[in-house]
Amino acid sequence: MGTDIHGFIECRWDRWLDEDDRVWFQVIDLSHLYNGRDYVAFGSLFGVRDTTSFRALADHRGLPRDVSKEVLADFEPWSDELHGESWISWAELAAADWDEGANEVDGCVHEFRRSSDGTWKMHGRNSSLTRFAELSGLTDARQLYSAGSVYPENTEWPDGDRLFRVGRLQRKDAVPDSEWGAVWSVMRTLADLHGDDGVRMVVWFDG
């Protein structure tokens, strides 16, 4: 059974209000911005599923004590079937070290593509596996999908303007902009209005 993420982005209207009157409001359902099921990302952010690759940024914090009533109303009917409740502010996300390396070698082979400036840019994990199988000679499907456990770290297979490599993820590759960019864009825009501490993502998981 797979694990899916659910939740909302909230913001707090601070302007002109005293601290005691500052209330969090639901802004947008996370499902409108992210619909993936990437366990390395879940682990890197919230300590769910993949708990060894990275230190989680917001590990099982529970729902915020001042969670918005709208978000709480969405969570409570299903609470017995859910787990991993947590939250993280835009201030924390903006301050995170996205170049931080993983604690262990990734089981997936990494594909890099050459950029216009000649540098290698991460393209995907276990992508273009048909071509990788030709280069590596792997024929066993289990080994093909877990080449990081078959070959030593930093083993490479050059392929013109493409390169396959066994190695460690950086946090930015574990939570790629290609999947999470819409979430970051909305939170960043709200933070321009409400401050970095006035925007947060509240999440939980099923499965």
Q: State mean pLDDT over 133-143.
A: 97
Report which of 207, 203, 187, 205 is spatially closest to residue 195, judged by C-alpha positions. Answer: 187
Q: Evaluate if residue 16 carries a pLDDT over 70.
A: no
Write out pLDDT tens, residues 26-53.
999 999 999 999 999 999 999 999 999 9
pLDDT for position 180:
98
Report which of 98, 123, 128 is spatially closest to residue 112, judged by C-alpha positions. Answer: 123
Mean pLDDT is lowest, of 14-28, 51-65, 190-204, for 14-28
For the entire predicted model, the pTM comes to 0.91
Write out pLDDT tens, residues 72-92.
999 999 999 999 999 999 999
Indicate the average pLDDT of the chain. Answer: 94
